[in-house]
Amino acid sequence: MWEILLTLAILFALAWPLGRYLAVALGDAPSRLDRVFGPVERVVYILCGVDPRRGMAWQGIARAFIGTNLVLAAVVMAILMGQGALPLNPDGVPGMGWDLALHTMVSFLTNTNQQHYSGQAQLSYLSQLAGIVTLQVLTPAMGLAIGLAVLRGLFGGRNTGTAGEGEPRDLGNYYVDVVRATLRVLLPLALAWSLLLTWQGVPSTFEGARVATPIDTEAGMAEQVIPVGPVAPMVAIKQLGTNGGGWYGPNSAVPLENPTPLGNVIEVIGIALLPMAIVLMMGRFTGRRKLTALVFGVMATFSLAFIATSAWSEQQPNAAVAGLAAEGPNMEGKEQRLGPGASALWSTLTTQTSNGSVNAMHDSLNPVAGGVAIAGMLVNAVWGGIGCGLVGFLVYLLVTVFLSGLMIGRTPEFFGRKLEVAEMRLLSLLVLLQPVLLLAAMAVALANPAITGNSNPGLHGVSQVLYEYASAYANNGSGFEGLGDATPWWNLSCVALLLAGRYATLLVPLAVAGRLAAKRVAPVTAGTLDIETPTFALTLVAVIVLLTLLCFLPVLALGPIGEALALAA
């Protein structure tokens, strides 16, 4: 527990100043950083044909977001399918099949990094760097750009003094936000993390695989081929960008990707550093310090509850080895050098955010800890992904404002702007989209085991399928495994959830924010609902639980809850 508490303390100590930096680096006011990054940024704007002074309404931002994603999709798809004939392929890796290439491209394009392949064996260096790592840098920057636009919209846009009521508001320039997020935030942090990981022993080379001769060759294995490569840069951005896709198939459970206990702490801090800093940034960015405290407090409450529950669960014995070994914590699927405490902290933070990297096999977690990981993805707004996590939380916030207003007989308003039927219809459809798509896909998968493949037909099998689809929709990317997921069924069904979980959950709140920004601000009166209070925070917690965890209670009872009760009996 001391290791967990110390890691969380370091995480907050780093996130606080980083949040202040983000408010300056990404804010609309001029700053000293313009002198440092301005020349490079201006070159990028000229090459891309972008006017950084032009503001964009929410419709323009949505079009720019979709357009840039389509261009990246075409380029990465071509690289993955043609990598066998392209350079930087010293190990002669062939091109991917179309369905696996489509899933891989969509997975990384949506900042998910769900892997139905093993990176060291099925991707060339060019695919890893020009395809995968490029998306791992740009997709979190794009999500952050949408998040900044939503914040501007909810708090009135940038030209509130010139636009009339009902007219589109300037929510910033999407391209400027993406460039600034990339050059001022992600690349400097990734460089620092890459150097730290290289120092700890993570490979960073363009040479081909290494060949090692085992000491014991009696089993008939005369040599081992150990893939290496520029691993450290990818691991750095996979953690900091809430990406999660590892160089190696088993991700950071591989000693080459996560070689030391100190390296493990560096990587686990990277998981939640930017998501937490973005929440802390919100106060300075919007001028609403009390609202930031409320958002941070609610997220921290969920986060600590999940971490404590998971850590307790993994300290319990594993029922599968009862009577076969000495009693102790659950060590199945764990690295001996890390242990259950560090693994429980990682598994919880990686599913609270949309990171998805692992340092232990989640399929081997005790049922309660596995259920906590699933719950974190179903909520998908406890820290969350870069930008999209805060956007998801603001959806819960707006729904709570509407429900609270109805309960006390006051007009639902968000800082003077009325939440009306059109906005609530959009938010309600978004809230319903997750259970409809996720449960429908589960029903088909569980009803047709012959075409889907499942290593566990019982309660744990339900957990495996639920985890896979929850991970896809939450743009998380981790998995329980045990599924034959490198098949057309899993590739294509997950693609549908990946796309909905990314674009609907970003574009619908953007549209709502744009509509609210165009409304007249009503003066604050005694009848105005005050949302910056502990009472509202408790209401918000209750709404999140009702809309997510209780909504999925029946299927959770058939999965991790049922499994835990069966083992206890």
Note the pLDDT tens digit of each residue in 213-223.
Answer: 877 766 566 78
What does each C-alpha distance from 499 to 245, 246, 404, 473, 494 come to in angstroms? Answer: 17, 21, 32, 8, 9
Contact between 231 and 209 (Cβ < 8 Å)? no
* % of the chain at pLDDT higher than 70: 95
Cβ proximity of 207 and 213 under 8 Å: no
Task: Quick: pLDDT tens for 46-88.
Answer: 999 999 999 999 999 999 999 999 999 999 999 999 999 998 8
Q: Give the 3-state secondary structure of residue 44.
A: helix
Query: Quick check: is 246 in a domain?
Result: no
Q: Which residues contact 351 (CB under 8 A, 6 or more apart)?
A: 372, 373, 374, 376, 377, 474, 476, 478
pLDDT at 214: 78
User: How far does CA 257 lie from the centroid of its chain?
Assistant: 20
Selected residue with higher pLDDT from 16 and 451: 16
Q: How confident is the model at residue 19 (pLDDT cuts 50, 70, 90)?
A: very high
Strand-pair category, 224-226 with 210-212: antiparallel
In a domain, 357, yes or no: yes
- Angstrom distance (rounded) from CA 543 to CA 233: 40
| Domains of the chain: total | 1
**DSSP secondary structure string for all residues of 255-317:** TTTS-SHHHHHHHHHHHHHHHHHHHHHHHHHHS-HHHHHHHHHHHHHHHHHHHHHHHHHHTSP
311 in any annotated domain = yes
Q: Residue 203 in contact with residue 231, Cβ under 8 Å?
A: yes
DSSP state for residue 524 in the 8-state scheme: P
Asked if residue 217 is part of any domain, the answer here is: no
Contact 190, 549 (CB under 8 A): no
Q: How many CA atoms lie within 13 A of 143 on its CB side?
A: 34
Average pLDDT, the chain: 90
Q: Is 211 helix (H, G, I), strand (E, B) or coil?
A: strand
Q: Is the CA virtual torsion 111, 463, 268, 149 positive or negative?
A: positive
- pTM (two decimals): 0.93
Instruction: Establish if 387 belongs to a structural domain.
Output: yes
Segment 528-537 shows an average pLDDT of 88
Distance of CA 304 to the CA centre of its chain: 18
Q: Is the pLDDT of residue 256 over 70?
A: yes
Taking a C-beta distance cutoff of 8 angstroms, is the pair 376, 275 a contact? no
149 Cβ contact partners less than 8 Å away, ≥ 6 residues apart: 56, 58, 61, 171, 172, 174, 177, 510, 513
Q: Is residue 155 part of a domain?
A: no
Whole-angstrom Cα distance, residue 427 to residue 191? 38
Burial status of residue 166 (CB atoms within 10 A of its CB: 0-12, 13-18, 19 or more): exposed
Q: Where are the beta strands (DSSP E) in 144-252?
A: 210-212, 224-226
- pLDDT band, very low/low/confident/very high, at 319 (cuts 50, 70, 90): confident
User: Do the Cβ atoms of 159 and 169 come closer than 8 Å?
Assistant: yes
CB 244 within 8 A of CB 355: yes
CA distance 450 to 266: 42
In the block, residue with structure tokens 């929410």 = 58
Name the band, by pLDDT with cuts 50, 70 and 90, for residue 157. low
Residue of 344 and 170 predicted with greater confidence: 344
Quickly list H helices, 84-165.
98-109, 119-122, 125-126, 134-154
65 within a domain of the structure (yes/no): no
Report whether pLDDT(412) > 90. Answer: no
**C-alpha 50: how far from its chain's center?**
29
Please indicate, yes or no, if residue 274 is contained in any of the structural domains.
no
Question: In this predicted structure, what is the pLDDT of residue 163?
Answer: 45
For residue 295, what pLDDT band results from cuts at 50, 70 and 90? very high
User: Which amino acid, one-letter code, is at 456?
Assistant: N
**Domain encompassing residue 365:** 290-568
When pLDDT is cut at 50, 70 and 90, the band that residue 321 belongs to is confident
